[in-house]
Amino acid sequence: MSRLATSYLLTCAAIGVAGGVLLWGATSLSTLLFAIVGPISAGIAGIWLLPAVVALRLLERPLAGILVGLISGLVVFPYLFTNLWWAFFAELPFLIVLYRFWKTWQYFAGAAFVGLIYPVLAAVSFNLWEMALPAQIGLFALTLASCLGGTWLGIIIADRLKAAGVAKLARRRPKTVATPGS
């Protein structure tokens, strides 16, 4: 595996720290919403996809989303594994095709997948199986819309960063330096 460019790592670090700060606030808001209105807190679930989507769209490099998820998770340390979990689903559609292509629909496929499985995996927290059918459908729709919305916002941010030239700096390959005797 080739060495990673410092600019790539710094870009991931910047996105990860900014994402971590955003998720700090989102975690507080989600906790407050959950205490007051329970399942409505799923309406901001898509925010957890945002940092990984920005990194993947901007850099188009394998594991950029996971690296950003790790960094943002370190910023909000108690939620490290939560951030890695969400980053994994942003990364998954690209991993499935072994990072051979980077299409916009893949971002939304990952968001749709996690948006549909998150309510099931958090069913106990949301008391999902005790809800009336319309409330269950509403929770799934809310989570799905949030994840798709967070992904859409991440794509917009990354595309604007690309237009500003950030991706050119971060995607440079490291120069190899010949060492004596090699």
Per-residue pLDDT of the chain (182 residues; tens, 9 = 90+): 456 688 899 999 999 999 999 999 998 999 899 999 888 889 999 999 999 999 999 999 999 999 999 999 999 888 899 999 999 999 999 999 999 999 999 999 999 999 999 999 999 988 889 999 999 999 999 999 999 999 999 999 999 999 998 877 666 555 554 555 55
Asked if the structure places residue 175 within a domain, the reply is: no
pLDDT for 1 equals 44
Asked if the structure places residue 181 within a domain, the reply is: no
pTM: 0.88
pLDDT for 180 equals 57
Number of domains in the chain: 1
List all residues 6 or more positions away from 57 whose beta carbon is below 8 Å from its beta carbon: 102, 107, 154, 155, 158, 159, 162
Asked if the structure places residue 177 within a domain, the reply is: no
Whole-number Å distance between alpha carbons of 56 and 60: 5
pLDDT for 175 equals 56
pLDDT for 102 equals 97
Segments of 20-172 assigned E as strands: none
Continuous segment of H or E residues that includes residue 81: helix 80-96
Asked if the structure places residue 157 within a domain, the reply is: yes
Task: Give the residue numbers spanning the domain of 157.
Answer: 6-170
Whole-number Å distance between alpha carbons of 36 and 118: 20
The label of the residue with tokens 């051979």 reads 100
Asked if the structure places residue 1 within a domain, the reply is: no
DSSP state of 122: T
Asked if the structure places residue 42 within a domain, the reply is: yes
Whole-number Å distance between alpha carbons of 95 and 87: 12
pLDDT for 2 equals 54
